[in-house]
């Protein structure tokens, strides 16, 4: 037996004896946090760290095994297990770590000679992702997959609680020397290890308790004061089958770009880290829409040089905050980042976990507190082999290691800890990027684009560092996301609606043009009646450029009036009988209408009107006479009035050519021939239903107002009249669907149904598709001639919340732009702008500025865009989705509502000190307006009295459906009303004023556990655990005390973040039936429905206000 053999035998004996010895130590703050997360989700591999490599040139598995054992003997962290003792989870002292004198590593040698490459990769992935048992250990796992004699793939994995990235470099370097010593059968020449991790833990506790720790605490509390709400990423289209775990993407930064980064860093006296970090912060700001950007970055935490080569978890995440609000140059932003990084470095020893506990930010299920994006910079100076193997792509040149060749074996590691992590490795003169992402947030395609966006932004920044950070591009080209614009359509200058109707009347003279309540008019009769009314209007002075107001219920005369106004070369303006008299008077005054056409039952609404009033029908009409000059494409056909930002009517002119190009655009998608039957509801929505039908020689059915408002009557009418083409709002379609369900009868004649005037919820779309031919979803503000986009709705379109509105029509061009007018990338949220022939003239009143909405822009061939104020995105398939309002306007029941206008009217009511309007709801029948009011001191206001006041001056859709009273409104950092927080308060008020619900057994049980853990008694069923002082460690106590295995189905610890209130957690413990059982018995159905409506009102208030507040915050921060 050789001396080497004797020494190895003695080592084995000493290890066996050492295995009986152990010492206990407290945990570091990072370890305490990881132990908590591990206990909440023991099956997670999120905190497994690893290195992998493919060795060739004589790999010796036995020598490698011996080297791993020697490595474990050198580092106490690799012989550590963890336990929970009776300390206080509030300060992280409830856990302990035990260092064993010896703990055999988990080593296995596997024969992979017959495996395919995919088999091998799957085995390595599985071994890496296998959870560690931190209680029994060991915390280190090694695998050698033998591919051929002398060739193997090696995995070395450890739990992050005992190992950080820096440690992996140390381990690989020491393993090399230990491996060589094993192959040469000699002792390794390595220095001893006398700095146990317990010394670092003691140092950390002393620092926090001392003066230096107090300064660090003050710094971080000041640095992180204010908004710590989680960032909101773009809503990327994810693959439901692959939306769990994480993914990673390696991308080399081109050599010339890397050289420019180094050059700029040198010129500005900063490190490449500062340049790369600043660019990433700008990118995160662009992605999240925030100007206050919080990015995490790991600092090594080895401020004591003696810890440099010690294995353990020393790393500490620091938060690097960037203020991008004033859009300074990239060069100036570099200076800011340099100062921020220097200050963070000075205070880096203050544990992030302790900071989270002290700041207590609002916790959201599964999301990291304070920051959701991380930037990591690794430099290869200490251990170049580790850096080369960590970032090299498959097929890269191998590196020398222990007499072997070590080639990269890429493995996705720790890719789901955060939503987005950018790691850049600086290896010599090259930079390599590694992007890690959660698949629940980013798709693989979105991550690939993020890497491209980072490179584009970085290239622009280093090329022109004096460029504003707000102007740095992320798109390499000027694409706007909607790439499929059809060829534009045009009409002849002399063409018009009146001219085309004349041709249709001549061609189809004896065909029925319009039917209503058993009466009908042929095309010849309609042409004759319209001609006589044209003559009557001309007798009143109506001619080219005039406007005629129509105050009419749907009838045959209404259709004749519209055609007559067009033949007179005038434009019609619609007055709604349900509008307040003040609104109608404003419209009449603003439009300058020469005459009003009305009906006997409505004439009384016009008492005192300053213009002539003609009542239809009229028995003594003049002969039609010759048609005379007909209008041209550029003449105004009608004027649309909508509520402006102040709540007052604003008019927009629509030309004949605008409507004709819309009809031509739709003709490419929908056939309307002589066999079609259209439905006419109201003059205000007549463009497509009326003209699309009449100009095709088809039949138009007038729907009486009573039937239009009664779904069952409408359903019967559509069936009896065999209507083939129907345009309705989502709310009306919802009612019609209910009528179809009640009767059990489909609509056999309906070929095409068009949803228009608001978001189309996916569940409603699924229902409508069951009883009609083809369902279309459309979009278009009044200012862009009815519709700008349209698409047939298929099953795949009904998977989300709302159905996409499709692609641009031929008369429109669509652009999704950011607040600086730049195109946003696909799947990003921006403000929708519309160009093309559909864009109208602008406002009727020339004194009202149009620049805010009608913009000159080089993006559009027409040079003019309409800014819709709607938030939109282009999905992964290139279709447009509408997400809500970017400003304070909202769409309710197809009407555009300005919140500022509602607030202005409320503030005028005696006794109202201040008001704020909010919109709630996202569904077809759920869009509702609510108001929050602060009464003047000493004034008592009631909800009913306020609504009565508003009804006198506002149309019905502008009157809030609910009003809440407050002592004060919450304010944001800019001293503006914080609508998101106000929405939460309103929701809480709505919940409190709902039907009282007796707590269930599960609720009492949860509340009792909360009281015990949080050490407080004032706990309500809707209180948030984290708002009451809870943290993840205390949440673990709740989980253990509740015994989640008794739930149905069993509750996992990782689920706890999803149920932050007593009510939600109790419902989960009781299964689906527990929540409904909590509502009690008597009164059952009506009470449940009321409670459900109030709960939905509360939830939707918060959801909608947060979206709008975030968008405003992005612009105003």
> CATH number for the 1001-1116 domain, one of 3.90.1150.10, 1.10.1200.10, 1.10.3210.10, 1.10.3720.10?
1.10.1200.10
Confidence (pLDDT) at 800: 73
Task: Decide if pLDDT at 359 tops 60.
Answer: yes
The pTM for the full model equals 0.75
- For 928-995, the DSSP string reads EEEEEEEEPTT----HHHHHHHHHTTS-GGGS-SEEEE-S---B-TTSSB-HHHHHHHHHHHHHHTS-
Name the 3-class secondary structure at 890: strand
Confidence (pLDDT) at 55: 96
Confidence (pLDDT) at 671: 86
Least confident window among 535-549, 765-779, 971-985: 971-985
Task: In whole angstroms, give the CA distance from residue 63 to residue 141.
Answer: 16
* Contact residues for 524 (Cβ-Cβ < 8 A; gap 6+): 505, 509, 510
Least confident window among 4-13, 945-954, 1009-1018, 1082-1091: 1082-1091
Q: Which two tokens stand for residue 455?
A: 């490179």
Least confident window among 4-18, 109-123, 363-377, 692-706: 4-18
* Burial of 827 per CB tally in 10 Å (0-12, 13-18, 19+): buried
Task: In whole angstroms, give the CA distance from residue 1029 to residue 309.
Answer: 39
pLDDT band at 729 (very low <50, low <70, confident <90, very high): confident
Task: In whole angstroms, give the CA distance from residue 902 to residue 898.
Answer: 7
Two domains, one topology: 226-384+410-471 and 1001-1116: no
Can you give the length of the chain in residues?
A: 1117
CA 256 to chain CA centroid, Å, is 35
Confidence (pLDDT) at 1041: 85
Considering the domain delimited by 3-193, tell me its CATH architecture: 2-Layer Sandwich (3.30)
Confidence (pLDDT) at 396: 73
pLDDT band at 1075 (very low <50, low <70, confident <90, very high): very low
CA geometry: angle 933, 937, 941, nearest 5 deg? 45
For residue range 687-722, list pLDDT tens digits in order.
789 999 999 999 999 999 889 888 899 999 999 999
Reference 155, options 103, 102, 106, 116; nearest CA is 106
Name the 3-class secondary structure at 130: coil
Task: In whole angstroms, give the CA distance from residue 679 to residue 696.
Answer: 14
Cis peptide before 138 (omega within 30 of 0): yes
Q: What is the mean pLDDT of residues 254-266?
A: 97
Give the residue extent of every domain in the chain. Answer: 3-193, 226-384+410-471, 1001-1116
Task: Decide if pLDDT at 17 tops 90.
Answer: no
More confident residue, 263 or 889: 263
Tell me what the pLDDT averaged over the chain comes to.
Answer: 84
For residue range 652-692, list pLDDT tens digits in order.
899 999 999 999 999 888 989 999 999 999 877 667 899 99
Angle 29-40/1032-1042 helices, nearest 10 degrees? 30
**Alpha-carbon Rg of the chain, whole angstroms?**
36
Confidence (pLDDT) at 14: 64
Task: In whole angstroms, give the CA distance from residue 691 to residue 711.
Answer: 25
Task: Decide if pLDDT at 2 tops 70.
Answer: no
CA 824 to chain CA centroid, Å, is 14
* Contact residues for 740 (Cβ-Cβ < 8 A; gap 6+): 715, 746, 747, 771
For residue range 836-880, list pLDDT tens digits in order.
878 877 677 656 655 568 887 777 777 788 998 888 989 888 889
Task: Decide if pLDDT at 536 tops 50.
Answer: yes
Confidence (pLDDT) at 254: 95
More confident residue, 509 or 1039: 509
Confidence (pLDDT) at 761: 85
Confidence (pLDDT) at 1111: 35
Q: Give the fold, CATH level 3, of 226-384+410-471.
A: Chloramphenicol Acetyltransferase (3.30.559)
Task: In whole angstroms, give the CA distance from residue 790 to residue 767.
Answer: 19
Q: Which two tokens stand for residue 232?
A: 């909101």
pLDDT band at 1082 (very low <50, low <70, confident <90, very high): very low
| % of the chain with per-residue pLDDT over 90 | 48
Cis peptide before 922 (omega within 30 of 0): no
Confidence (pLDDT) at 695: 96
Task: Decide if pLDDT at 509 tops 90.
Answer: yes
615-625: b or e for each residue (b if 16 or more CB lie within 10 Å)? ebeeeebeebe
Dihedral of the alpha carbons of 7, 10, 11, 15, in degrees to the nearest 10: 180
Confidence (pLDDT) at 619: 74
pLDDT band at 342 (very low <50, low <70, confident <90, very high): very high
pLDDT band at 1087 (very low <50, low <70, confident <90, very high): very low
Q: What is the mean pLDDT of residues 316-332?
A: 93
Per-range mean pLDDT, top range of 96-105, 233-242, 798-807, 911-920: 96-105
Task: In whole angstroms, give the CA distance from residue 688 to residue 788.
Answer: 13
Task: In whole angstroms, give the CA distance from residue 644 to residue 649.
Answer: 6
Least confident window among 536-550, 747-761, 1012-1026: 1012-1026
Task: In whole angstroms, give the CA distance from residue 681 to residue 728.
Answer: 9
More confident residue, 991 or 3: 3
Residue 169 Cα distances to 310, 379, 459, 632, angstroms: 10, 11, 31, 78
Name the 3-class secondary structure at 535: helix
Q: What is the mean pLDDT of residues 279-298?
A: 95
CA geometry: angle 1007, 1008, 1011, nearest 5 deg? 85
Reference 687, options 580, 571, 793; nearest CA is 571
Name the 3-class secondary structure at 855: strand
Cβ atoms of 981 and 1084 closer than 8 Å: no
* Burial of 1008 per CB tally in 10 Å (0-12, 13-18, 19+): middle
Angle 384-391/165-183 helices, nearest 10 degrees? 110
- Per residue, what are the HEC states of 767-806? HHHHHCCEEEEEECCHHHCCCCEEEECCHHHHCCCECCCE
pLDDT band at 991 (very low <50, low <70, confident <90, very high): low
Task: Decide if pLDDT at 59 tops 50.
Answer: yes
Confidence (pLDDT) at 923: 44
More confident residue, 820 or 210: 210
Confidence (pLDDT) at 1044: 65
Confidence (pLDDT) at 1109: 38
- For 812-853, the DSSP string reads -EEEEE-TTSPBPPTT--EEEEEESTT----BSSTTS--TTT
pLDDT band at 393 (very low <50, low <70, confident <90, very high): low
| % of the chain with per-residue pLDDT over 70 | 86
* Burial of 1046 per CB tally in 10 Å (0-12, 13-18, 19+): exposed
* Burial of 773 per CB tally in 10 Å (0-12, 13-18, 19+): middle
Task: In whole angstroms, give the CA distance from residue 378 to residue 127.
Answer: 25
Confidence (pLDDT) at 498: 96
For residue range 916-939, list pLDDT tens digits in order.
898 765 444 455 788 999 888 788
Task: In whole angstroms, give the CA distance from residue 597 to residue 1063.
Answer: 58
* Burial of 328 per CB tally in 10 Å (0-12, 13-18, 19+): middle
Confidence (pLDDT) at 151: 97
Least confident window among 41-55, 298-312, 781-795, 1046-1060: 1046-1060
754 forms beta bridges with: 727, 776
Confidence (pLDDT) at 742: 87
Q: What are phi and psi of 822, to 5 degrees?
A: -100, 145
Least confident window among 388-392, 720-724, 798-802, 888-892: 888-892
Confidence (pLDDT) at 1047: 73
Confidence (pLDDT) at 208: 92
Cβ atoms of 823 and 480 closer than 8 Å: yes
Other Cβ atoms within 10 Å of 354 Cβ, number = 21
CA geometry: angle 529, 532, 537, nearest 5 deg? 125
Q: What are phi and psi of 178, to 5 degrees?
A: -65, -40
Q: What is the mean pLDDT of residues 176-191?
A: 92
169 membership: H or E segment, kind and range: helix 165-183
Angle 556-567/497-507 helices, nearest 10 degrees? 120
pLDDT band at 329 (very low <50, low <70, confident <90, very high): very high
Name the 3-class secondary structure at 623: coil
726 membership: H or E segment, kind and range: strand 725-728
Other Cβ atoms within 10 Å of 361 Cβ, number = 15
Task: Decide if pLDDT at 85 tops 80.
Answer: no
Confidence (pLDDT) at 727: 93
Q: What are phi and psi of 109, to 5 degrees?
A: -115, 120
Per-range mean pLDDT, top range of 591-605, 860-874, 980-994: 591-605
For residue range 803-826, list pLDDT tens digits in order.
999 889 988 889 999 888 888 998
3-state helix, strand, coil in the chain (%, to 5): 40, 20, 40
């Amino acid at each position: 037996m050789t001396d080497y053999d004797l020494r190895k035998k003695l080592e084995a004996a000493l290890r066996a004896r050492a295995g009986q010895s152990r010492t206990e130590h407290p945990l570091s703050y990072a370890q305490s946090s990881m132990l908590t997360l591990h206990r909440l989700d023991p099956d997670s591999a999120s905190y497994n760290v690893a290195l992998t490599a493919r060795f060739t040139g004589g790999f010796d598995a036995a020598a490698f095994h011996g080297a791993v054992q020697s490595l474990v003997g050198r580092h106490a962290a690799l012989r550590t297990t963890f336990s929970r003792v009776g300390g206080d989870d509030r300060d992280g002292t409830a856990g302990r770590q035990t260092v064993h004198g010896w703990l055999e590593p988990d080593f296995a040698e596997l024969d992979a000679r017959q495996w395919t490459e995919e088999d091998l990769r799957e085995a390595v992935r599985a071994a890496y992702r296998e959870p560690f048992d931190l209680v029994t250990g060991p915390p280190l796992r090694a695998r050698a997959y033998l591919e051929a004699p002398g060739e193997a793939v090696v995995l070395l994995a450890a739990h992050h609680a005992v190992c950080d990235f820096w440690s992996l470099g140390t381990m690989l370097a020491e393993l090399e020397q230990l491996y060589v010593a094993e192959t040469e059968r000699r002792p390794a020449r390595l220095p001893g290890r006398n700095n146990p991790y317990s010394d670092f833990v003691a140092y950390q506790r002393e620092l926090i308790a001392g003066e230096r720790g107090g300064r660090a605490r003050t710094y971080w509390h000041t640095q992180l004061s204010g908004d710590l709400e989680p960032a909101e990423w773009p809503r990327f289209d994810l693959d439901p089958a692959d939306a769990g775990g994480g993914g990673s993407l390696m991308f080399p930064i081109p050599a010339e770009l890397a050289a420019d980064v180094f050059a700029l860093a040198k010129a500005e006296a900063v490190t490449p880290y500062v340049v790369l970090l600043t660019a990433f912060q700008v990118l995160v700001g662009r992605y999240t829409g925030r100007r206050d950007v919080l990015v995490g970055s790991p600092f090594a935490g080895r401020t004591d040089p003696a810890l440099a080569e010690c294995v353990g978890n020393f790393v500490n995440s620091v938060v690097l905050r960037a203020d991008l609000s004033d859009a300074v140059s990239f060069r100036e932003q570099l200076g800011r980042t340099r100062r921020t990084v220097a200050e963070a470095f000075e205070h880096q020893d203050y544990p992030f976990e302790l900071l989270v506990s002290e700041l207590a930010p609002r916790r959201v299920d599964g999301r990291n507190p304070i920051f959701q994006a991380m930037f990591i910079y690794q430099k290869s100076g200490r251990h170049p082999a580790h850096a080369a193997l960590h970032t090299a792509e498959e097929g890269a040149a191998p590196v020398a290691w222990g007499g072997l060749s070590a080639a990269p074996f890429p493995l996705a590691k720790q890719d789901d800890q955060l939503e987005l992590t950018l790691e850049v490795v600086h290896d010599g003169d090259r930079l390599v990027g590694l992007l890690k992402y959660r698949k629940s947030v980013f798709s693989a395609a979105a991550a690939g684009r993020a890497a491209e966006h980072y490179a584009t932004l970085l290239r622009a920044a280093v090329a022109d560092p004096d460029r504003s950070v707000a102007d740095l591009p992320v798109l390499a080209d000027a694409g706007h996301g909607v790439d499929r614009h059809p060829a534009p359509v045009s009409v002849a200058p002399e063409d018009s609606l009146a001219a085309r109707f004349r041709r249709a009347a001549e061609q189809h003279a004896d065909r029925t043009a319009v039917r209503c309540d058993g009466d009908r008019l042929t095309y010849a009769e309609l042409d004759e009646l319209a001609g006589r009314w044209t003559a009557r209007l001309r007798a009143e002075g109506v001619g080219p450029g005039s406007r005629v107001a129509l105050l009419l219920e749907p009838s045959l005369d209404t259709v004749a009036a519209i055609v007559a106004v067009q033949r007179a070369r005038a434009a019609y303006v619609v007055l709604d009988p349900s509008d307040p008299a003040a609104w109608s008077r404003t419209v009449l005054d603003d439009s300058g209408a020469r005459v009003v056409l009305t009906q006997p039952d409505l004439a009384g609404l016009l008492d005192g009107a300053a213009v002539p009033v003609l009542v239809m029908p009229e028995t003594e009409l003049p002969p039609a006479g010759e048609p005379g000059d007909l209008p041209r494409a550029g003449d105004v056909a009608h004027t649309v009035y909508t509520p402006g930002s102040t709540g007052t009517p604003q008019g927009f002119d629509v030309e004949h050519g605008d409507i004709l190009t819309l009809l031509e655009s739709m003709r490419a998608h929908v056939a309307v021939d002589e066999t079609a039957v259209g439905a006419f509801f109201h003059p205000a929505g007549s463009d497509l239903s009326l003209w699309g039908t009449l100009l095709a020689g088809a039949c138009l059915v007038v729907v009486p107002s009573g039937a239009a408002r009664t779904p069952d009557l409408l359903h019967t009418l559509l069936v009896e009249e065999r209507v083939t083409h129907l345009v309705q709002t989502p709310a009306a379609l919802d009612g019609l669907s209910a009528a179809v369900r009640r009767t059990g009868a489909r609509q056999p004649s309906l070929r095409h149904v068009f949803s228009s005037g608001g978001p189309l919820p996916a569940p409603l779309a699924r229902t409508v598709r069951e009883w009609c031919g083809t369902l279309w979803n459309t979009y278009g503000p009044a200012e862009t001639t009815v519709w700008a986009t349209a698409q047939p709705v298929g099953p795949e379109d009904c998977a989300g919340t709302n159905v996409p509105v499709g692609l641009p029509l031929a008369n429109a061009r669509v652009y999704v732009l950011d607040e600086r007018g730049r195109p946003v990338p696909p799947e990003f949220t921006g403000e929708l702008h519309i160009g093309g022939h559909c864009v109208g003239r602008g406002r009727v009143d020339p004194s009202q500025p149009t620049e805010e909405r009608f913009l000159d822009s080089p993006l559009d061939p027409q040079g003019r865009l309409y800014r819709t104020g709607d938030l939109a995105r282009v999905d992964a398939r290139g279709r447009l989705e509408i997400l809500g309002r970017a400003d304070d306007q909202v769409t309710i029941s197809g009407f555009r509502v300005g919140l500022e206008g509602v607030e202005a009217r409320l503030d005028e009511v005696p006794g109202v000190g201040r008001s704020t309007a909010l919109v709630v709801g996202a569904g077809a029948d759920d869009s509702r307006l609510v108001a929050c009011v602060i009464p003047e001191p000493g004034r008592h206001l009631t909800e009913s009295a306020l609504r009565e006041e508003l009804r006198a001056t506002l149309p019905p859709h502008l009157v809030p459906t609910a009003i809440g009273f407050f002592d004060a409104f919450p304010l944001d950092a800019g001293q503006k009303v914080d609508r998101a927080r106000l929405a939460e308060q309103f929701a809480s008020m709505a919940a409190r004023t709902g039907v009282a619900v007796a707590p269930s057994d599960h609720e009492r049980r949860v509340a009792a556990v909360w009281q015990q853990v949080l050490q407080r008694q004032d706990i309500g069923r809707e209180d948030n655990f984290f708002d009451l002082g809870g943290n993840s460690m205390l949440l673990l106590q709740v989980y253990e005390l509740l015994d989640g295995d008794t739930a149905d189905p069993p509750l996992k610890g990782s689920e706890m973040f999803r149920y932050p209130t007593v009510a939600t957690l109790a419902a989960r413990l009781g299964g689906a039936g527990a929540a409904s059982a909590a509502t009690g018995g008597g009164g059952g159905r009506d009470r449940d429905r009321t409670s459900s409506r109030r709960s939905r009102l509360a939830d939707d208030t918060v959801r909608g206000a947060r979206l709008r507040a975030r968008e405003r915050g992005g612009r105003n921060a």
